[in-house]
Structure 1
Amino acid sequence: MRRLTDALYDVVLTLWVGGLWTIGYLVAPTLFAALSADRQLAGGLAGKLFELIGWLGLGCAAYLLLYMLLRAGMAALRRWTFWLVVLMLVLGAVSLFGVQPLLAQLKADALPREVMESVLRNRFATWHGVSSILYLVQSVLGLLLVLSSRRGSK
């Protein structure tokens, strides 16, 4: 059973961090490039994907933290990788439950215009920037977690 949980740890970590990098740095830019004539559609699709990876991240973080606690007990609290996952979880939750709904509300408030053509443009741009920074930090932390996992410091 331990082999299965160890393997599942690696799969879950790969799924989460790989998903962050794939959606954020491959899929979203490709959507905006391919749908350059309809940025609203590209933004809507990208938003759905970021929401999906946010929910996936919550589930993955829960498994990773549970795994570390069950494997190492309270000693897990002294490992930097445990706190790295906690930080990634917090960043993901702030984005999913705080920033993304705010961006969606700004888009809705701007209707019937696109938000970037409305008086809400500056607020949207600011919060979009906050969202991008949170995502970048989470992605880099995920990369550190993957690299640390390769050295066996679960």
Structure 2
Amino acid sequence: MMPLQGRLRGYLPSARLLVAVLWAGALWVLGYIAAPAVFGIVSGPLAGDIVGAFLGRLAWISFACAALMLVLVRLSPDLAPGRRRYLSLLVLAMLACALVIYVGLQPAMAALREAAGAGGVRSSPQWTQFAVMHGVSQLFHLIESVLAAVLVLKSR
């Protein structure tokens, strides 16, 4: 019978893949299914509030998955040093995208929406600035989503 440590090592590639798939799935479902569906059904600021709440939860999923992936990569004896470094950098790049969105862009966009008042951001002078930030946020989400596909393919 294999010792416990040996059996746990055997599960590390599967655990890495599971975390990568969870992270990628969350990104893809929210960004390409849930958010467009919400904006297709609900109009105005309420849609932004709903998607904003989803994005806040997605950020915490991203932070947790990044931390777990970094630990799993570090503990994986099956990974060559170059591959370990590659996966770590990939995870850190995805984490950077999540941080830019959650810490930088989302609070700034929320402040613009609040400053716009009851009329909504579309009818305010801040609309152009908001639209640019929204586009940058979408770009970072797209980058993180593509990196997630690479992570899934390279995690096993």
Indicate conservation of the 8 Å contact 1:115/1:124, yes or no: yes
The one of 54, 75, 79 aligned to 1:70: 75
In structure 2, the residue matched to 1:58 is 63
AA paired with 1:29? P
In structure 2, the residue matched to 1:23 is 30
Runs of 4+ in 1 over 4 A off after TM superposition: none
Q: Distance in 1 between matches of 2:10 and 2:38?
A: 39
Q: Distance in 2 between matches of 1:77 and 1:95?
A: 27
Unaligned regions of 5+ residues in structure 1, if any? Answer: none
Calculate the aligned-residue CA RMSD, in Å.
Answer: 1.9
Q: Which has the larger radius of gyration?
A: 2
Q: Distance in 1 between matches of 2:81 and 2:87?
A: 12
The answer as to 2:118 corresponding to 1:112 is yes
The one of 9, 16, 20 aligned to 1:9: 16
The Cα shift of 1:112 comes to 2.3
3-state SS of paired residue (1:61): helix
Q: Distance in 2 between matches of 1:77 and 1:11?
A: 18
3-state SS of paired residue (1:9): helix
Identity %: 34
Between Structure 1 and Structure 2, how many residues are aligned?
148
In structure 2, the residue matched to 1:44 is 49
Q: Distance in 1 between matches of 2:60 and 2:120?
A: 26
Higher relative contact order (CA 8 A, sep 6+): 2
